[in-house]
Amino acid sequence: MLVHASNILIPLSFINNTIAFAKKEAMAEGEAKGERKKALETALNLKNMDIPLDKIAKATGLRIEEIEHLK
């Protein structure tokens, strides 16, 4: 099936594949943001427990500079 858009014929399968790809990308981006948020929360909790910054960085994957700025 073809879709007509501004005098251009686009296969419906192309549109569906593009939408599916965009959804997967959006989900992956959301997951990455969630993982980063959790790492920041964990780092702040560990920092508040007076755990050395180098150990927090190793445990969370964050940079020491990022951890230093957490409040």
Report the alpha-carbon distance of residue 61 to residue 52 in Å, rounded.
14
Residue 39 three-state SS: helix
pLDDT computed for residue 8 by the predictor: 76
60: alpha, beta or left, given left = phi > 0 and alpha = psi -120 to 50?
alpha
The domain segmentation of the chain, as residue ranges, is 33-71
Mean pLDDT per 10-residue run, the chain (71 residues)?
Answer: 69 91 97 97 98 98 98 93
Are 67 and 56 spatial neighbours (Cβ–Cβ below 8 Å)? yes
What are the structure tokens assigned to 37, written together?
């948020």
Question: CA-CA distances (angstroms) from residue 12 to 9, 22, 34, 41?
Answer: 9, 15, 33, 44
What pLDDT score was predicted for residue 5? 63
